[in-house]
């Protein structure tokens, strides 16, 4: 059997949180019902807070991408 070892999101590892931000961003771009209560600012905040070690700059680039999409989204509305 599988045990439920659930953990609060705030207690998750930085890598898990960053991955969650990436998934949320993809779902937001597809207008998923599962992220209707999440904003681009929420995604940016999670990614920023969980950036961790980013020797090659990929995480920083992702955050810049989300900022760019969020800014473009504001211009469209």
Per-residue burial over 31-70, b = 16 or more CB atoms within 10 Å of its CB, e = otherwise: eeeebeebebeebbebbeebbeeeeeeebeebbeebeeeb
**Tens digit of pLDDT for each residue in 38-74?**
999 999 999 999 999 999 999 999 999 999 999 887 6
Domain edges within the chain = 12-76
| pLDDT for the residue numbered 7 | 87
Average pLDDT, the chain: 91
């Amino acid at each position: 059997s599988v045990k439920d070892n659930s953990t609060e999101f705030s207690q998750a590892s930085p890598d898990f949180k960053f991955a969650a931000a990436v998934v949320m961003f993809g779902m937001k771009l597809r207008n998923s019902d599962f992220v209707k209560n999440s904003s681009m600012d929420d995604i940016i905040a999670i990614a920023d807070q969980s950036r961790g070690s980013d020797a090659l700059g990929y995480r920083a680039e992702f955050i810049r991408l989300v900022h760019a999409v969020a800014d473009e989204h504001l211009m469209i509305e």
